[in-house]
Amino acid sequence: MNRNLIITIVTVFVLLFFTGAYRLLEIKTGDRDHIVKVGYIYDGDESAPYTANFIRAQHAIEKKYEGRIETVVKNNVPDGSGEQMISELIGEGCEIIFTTSYGFQEAAKKLAAENPNVQFCQATGDNANTAPVLANYHNFMGRIYEGRYASGVVAGMKLRQMIDEGIIAPDAVKVGYVAAYPYPEVISGYTAFFLGVKSKAPEAVMTVRYTDTWNSYTLEYECAKKMIDEGCVLISQHSDTIGPAVACEESAKEYPVYHVGYNQSMVGVAPTRSLVSTRINWEPYMESAVGAVLGKKKIENAVHADVHGNDSCAGFEEGWVEMMEINTQIEAEGTQQALDDTVAAFKKADLHVFEGEYTGTDPFDMNDRIDLRTPYAENEKASAPSFHYVLDDVITVKE
């Protein structure tokens, strides 16, 4: 009886072992074979530098996780159609959705609350840590003010050369900036750019014109042309098309009007005028976020960044912000070294941008003022830029 009992017990354990092993193998195989659908919603398409920059990251993610993910994309989505298009992505089975325009964030957060099993990652957003805080809703953005400032250094070097060579007078160092909207993201960016310019050409002043749209070649071109006609000798932009670069290239002034771009190199369309561009590299965050979903991990535990709640941010030090190649055909002598030194200082957190003998005013509240003799820490607690003051006397906003 004892011998039979032992045989029975052993048999049961063997059966349990192999059944468990089979189930474990089945689960692992199922996880490995499970294809995660990744959704992207864009307000433009590949023809717009802003969207093209995201698509560049999308393609890198597809290559990184080839065979493990499937991509579903919605292009040319206006802000008012965001909820409908995001709902379509959910209906198509997406487990993680990247919304890439600030105008999508309210719809994205609303649908995140209704779909807790889907991860929503909102680029340039600022509402992940406001009530209600949702475990499946996230904000992310690179510290682009670093790239703006570094671009300004390149521009300032060129302006200094133009002054030293007598091409322009010291009192004619007028910079123009094509801006989309008077949002903190835009104001922070053009202020950082301007302070970078002034680090090399302290004589500079700047004019800003808003287009009140992110993506209009015609408006951006006309806006840049108007500032060129007003005497601006260099144009930069926080807008989505190549219009300002083309306006600079086509300028028939007695002096060259140079250009600094955003999101992609614009040397191809302005080979004798476009100096450099900067961009946010969306790839590191997207790679980590998709990897977290594949590995069933919390996204904020997977990213290499400064994390505040459900909000992630990084700069040059993690590759979230990048400079495009300098146009060596027109750069001022010493520009590459100056740029390298600037980027290195940012990586070591040795460079503080928003400080100096400047005061500024909130354009929507004249009683809200700032004195930059007390430095302002941008992106200290959130990825979305928050500096929203127009510097007095040195920056002029025109309608």
3-state helix, strand, coil in the chain (%, to 5): 40, 20, 40
Split at pLDDT 50, 70, 90, the class of 399 is confident
Residue 80, pLDDT score: 86
Cα–Cα dist 376/358, whole Å: 11
Per-residue pLDDT, averaged over 22-33, amounts to 45
Quote the pLDDT of residue 31: 52
Same domain, residue pair 154 and 230: yes
Q: Which amino acid is at 146?
A: E
Do 173 and 277 lie in a common domain? yes
- Check whether residue 201 and residue 215 sit in a common domain: yes
* Domain limit, last residue, from 315, 338, 370: 315
Q: Are residues 150 and 264 in the same domain?
A: yes
Which tens digits make up the pLDDT trace of 48-100? Answer: 889 999 999 999 999 999 999 999 999 999 988 999 999 999 999 999 999 99
Q: Is residue 3 part of a domain?
A: no
Same domain, 286 and 256: no
Judge whether 27 lies within some domain. Answer: no
Task: Indicate whether 140 pLDDT > 80.
Answer: yes
Q: How far apart are CA 145 and CA 313, in angstroms?
A: 12
Q: What is the pTM of this model?
A: 0.90
Residue with tokens 């920056």: 395
Calpha distance 169→385 (Å, rounded): 34
Task: State pLDDT tens for residues 319-336.
Answer: 999 999 999 999 999 999
User: Of the candidates 290, 315, 340, which is a domain's last residue?
Assistant: 315
Is residue 254, in this structure, part of any structural domain at all?
yes
Distance CA 102, CA 111 (A): 15
What total of structural domains would you count in the chain? 2
- 304 and 188 fall within a common domain: no
Residues 343-379 pLDDT 10s: 999 999 999 999 999 999 999 999 999 999 999 999 9
Specify whether 339 is located in the same domain as 356: yes
pLDDT of residue 370: 98
Same domain, 349 and 337: yes
Same domain, 181 and 296: no
CATH number at residue 310: 3.40.50.2300
| 22 found inside a domain | no
Structural domain for 345, as ranges: 144-281+320-398
Q: What is the pLDDT of residue 215?
A: 85
The answer to whether residue 10 is domain-embedded is no
Place of tokens 């060596």: 328
* Residue owning tokens 């040195």: 394
Q: Specify if 290 maps to a domain.
A: yes
pLDDT band of 6, cuts 50, 70, 90: low
